[in-house]
Amino acid sequence: MNGAAKALERGSLVDFLASDGAFLGRGTYNPHTLIAGRILTRKVTQEIDQHYFAHQFRSALALRQRMGLGDYCRLIHAEGDGLPGLIIDRFGPHLSVQLNSAGMDALWPSIKAALLEVLQPAAIMLHNDSSIRSLEGLERTSSLDHGAVSSAIPVQENGLTYFADIVGGQKTGWYFDQRDNHALVARFAKDCTVLDLYTHAGGFALLAAKCGAARVVGVDSSEPALALARQAATHNGLDQSCEWHKADVFEYMERLIGTREAYDIVIADPPPFVKSRKDLAAGARGYRKLARLSALTTKPSGLLYIASCSHNMDLARLTAEVAQGLSEARRNGQILFTTFAATDHPVHPHLPESAYLKGLVIRLD
């Protein structure tokens, strides 16, 4: 890196050239991070401006419509949609945005103008509080950048109305990546007892109840998230079959094991245990323990769904840790399904990290 490159401002727009001077692409540059360059276009005549972002947003919108998705989905999935560092979740007329690179942070005026042009949102919430921003040398803040929004907005998914907090909730406020997996697990829920660990706002639990589960228990350490789940249960007329508990999940399962209480279906969808490569060994032990405790709370012939959203925990390692956890619980299992993120989270073919979510549906003996 020469002196001129080091002197560039974080997030500067630059042209990337080969050693012979050939044009490789145009994008953003940050001399103070490991991922210094992020290409946005390979067209030498393409300007990175409002018109460019409006085109990208229309293209992403058309893809979601082609896949049969409505107005509640992830509109932009960073590299998967050709816009590295940018996340946009759509909640009907409301948008929740993460600017996770210095380049996207610097380009926010053009991005915002394009969003107003293409979608005319009632509100835009900026969730610039990700730890990734610290690696980019950026401040971590959250703010309402446009319009107004209440603390609980409806989310339409799989025929249910959930509620999300895009102002003070986790990440962008909802986990659209689990949409298809919510439906997959719910297929087996009729007349079953269901334990939803790390339930958040009730994504798995409420759909299982709608699909005829006899009893659904949701557990989470966040009271605000559980309040959203309760609100959705009431709204959808599911109060009678649902109950909610604020607790540490590991402690809660230890108590269940002590009382020999078990469920037909157990769902374990934790927050990332592996936030960086240095956490891999400890995080792997966490998934192993989670699998062991979950297996001990699953009835014979029951189903266990266990997931990881840690991009450093690949599918092979997750499967190995889960298998070890089952062995420690003295349970045998059959993997029925391997799951990934919903289709509004496209994967970049050269960036396996963009396939961050993976899970296993296992029938236990």
Please give, one letter per residue, the 3-state secondary structure of 280-306: HHHHHHHHHHHHHHHHHCEEEEEEEEE
Six token digits for residue 238: 């599911």
* Residue 73 appears among annotated catalytic residues: no
Position 4 scores a pLDDT of: 67
Reported as a single tens digit per residue, the pLDDT across 88-135 is: 999 999 999 999 999 999 999 999 999 999 999 999 999 999 888 998
**Rounded distance between C-alpha atoms, residue 254 and residue 240, angstroms:** 26
**Rounded distance between C-alpha atoms, residue 206 and residue 212, angstroms:** 10
**Rounded distance between C-alpha atoms, residue 28 and residue 213, angstroms:** 50
Q: How many residues does the chain have?
A: 365
Counts of helices then strands in the chain (DSSP H, E):
11, 17
Q: Which of 333, 260, 340 lies closest to 303, judged by CA?
A: 333
Q: How far is CA 88 from CA 6, 60, 104, 116, in A?
A: 30, 11, 12, 13
Position 143 scores a pLDDT of: 94
Pairing of strands 160-164, 153-157: antiparallel
Position 341 scores a pLDDT of: 97
**Rounded distance between C-alpha atoms, residue 321 and residue 288, angstroms:** 5
Spans of the chain, pLDDT less than 50: none
Domains of the chain, each with CATH number or no CATH = 3-41 (no CATH), 50-147 (3.30.750.80), 165-364 (3.40.50.150)
Pairing of strands 160-164, 193-197: unpaired
CB 250 within 8 A of CB 256: no
Computed over every residue of the chain, the mean pLDDT equals 95
CB 362 within 8 A of CB 304: yes
For the entire predicted model, the pTM comes to: 0.94
Q: How far is CA 291 from CA 236, 309, 319, in A?
A: 31, 15, 10
Name the active-site residue from 73, 192, 242, 309.
309
